Amino acid sequence: MNWEVILSGENSGKFNMDFDLELAKSFHSIPVLRLYRWKPYCISLGANQSMDEINIEKASTDNIDVIKRPTGGRAILHSEELTYSVVFPIELNYSAKAIYNEINLALKEGLIFYNPILSQLELEHNQADFKNFYKEDKSAICFAVSSKSEINFNRKKFVGSAQRKIGKVVLQHGSILCGDFHLNITDYLNIEEQRKEEIRSEISNTTIDLKSILHQEINYELLAECIILGFKKYFNSDVNVKEQIFQ
C-alpha cells in the first residue's frame, strides 16, 4: 500500500475543512494523510452540532474562527495541536470502524517515534454512554469523553478524532494535543460562568497534552515527520510527500 502525504502548514479553519472535504470528494485510489495546523486558532463543531452552543461574538473578539466540520463529534478549540486527516477507501476487508482503529494504531506508532515515553499510549477499549452523556452541558466539548479506539495516555484522552463516510471513502481527522490551550474552549460555551470553571476543571483532569507528558516544547515539524514514519511502519507502505510548507 502506498500513501500520499500532504504537509500544508498553518491555515484558516475554513481552508482546512474545505481542503479535507475536497480530498474526500476527489479521491482516486491512493490513501491520503494530511498534517496541518490552524491560524488563527479555531473552534470547530461537529456537523450535527448547533452553533448556538458557542458564543460566536466573543470568539470573534478574541480572533478565533468558528466553523462546522464535515465530520461528526463535538466542539474542539484547535490551537496548540498537530491535526491529521486521512482519506481511506472502504473495501471489503476494511469497515469504517476498522479504519478508525487502524489509523489510531498508526498514529500511536508515529508518536512513539517522537518519544519512546509514548509507548505507554493505549487505545480506549470501552465505548462511552453517549445517550446519557449528551444530556450534560459538557457534552458540547469533544475532549470531555473518550470514544472507543481513541488514543489515551495514563487513561487521559490525548488524541480526539471524528469520522464520516463520503461515497466509497472515509474521511477521518483529529487533534493531537500538544499544549493545554484547548481547555479555554469553556470560555466560549453559552452556559453559566460558574459551570464553565467546573467543566474546565473536569476536562483538565480527563485530558492530557504532549507538552505536559514530556515537559518540553514541541517540535511540530519533527512530530509531523514521526507521524509519517508511523504510517510507513504500521501500513508497511511507501509515502509520497506532495507538499512541505510548514512554517
Extract the C-alpha cell encoding 148. 472507543
Q: Which residues lie below 8 Å from residue 79, measured CB to CB, with a gap of 6+?
A: 38, 41, 179, 181, 182, 184
User: 26-69, pLDDT tens digit by residue?
Assistant: 998 899 999 999 999 999 999 988 999 999 999 999 999 999 99
Angle among Cα 160, 47, 122 to the nearest 5 degrees reads: 15
User: 38-49, pLDDT tens digit by residue?
Assistant: 999 999 999 988
Q: In the chain, what are the domain boundaries?
A: 2-244
User: Mean pLDDT, to the nearest integer, of 2-10?
Assistant: 95
Grade residue 195 by pLDDT with cuts at 50, 70 and 90. confident
Mean pLDDT, the chain, rounded, equals 89
Grade residue 141 by pLDDT with cuts at 50, 70 and 90. low
User: Mean pLDDT, to the nearest integer, of 189-217?
Assistant: 92
What pLDDT does residue 134 have?
A: 46
What pLDDT does residue 130 have?
A: 39
Q: Which residue has the higher pLDDT, 128 or 182?
A: 182
What pLDDT does residue 142 have?
A: 53
CATH classification (class only), 2-244: alpha beta
Grade residue 170 by pLDDT with cuts at 50, 70 and 90. very high
> pLDDT at residue 133 above 80?
no
What pLDDT does residue 136 have?
A: 55
Grade residue 139 by pLDDT with cuts at 50, 70 and 90. low
Torsional sign, CA 216, 221, 225, 230 = positive
Instruction: Determine which of 69-83, 139-153, 202-216 has the lowest per-residue pLDDT on average.
Output: 139-153
What pLDDT does residue 128 have?
A: 46
Beta strand pairing call for 32-38 and 42-45: unpaired
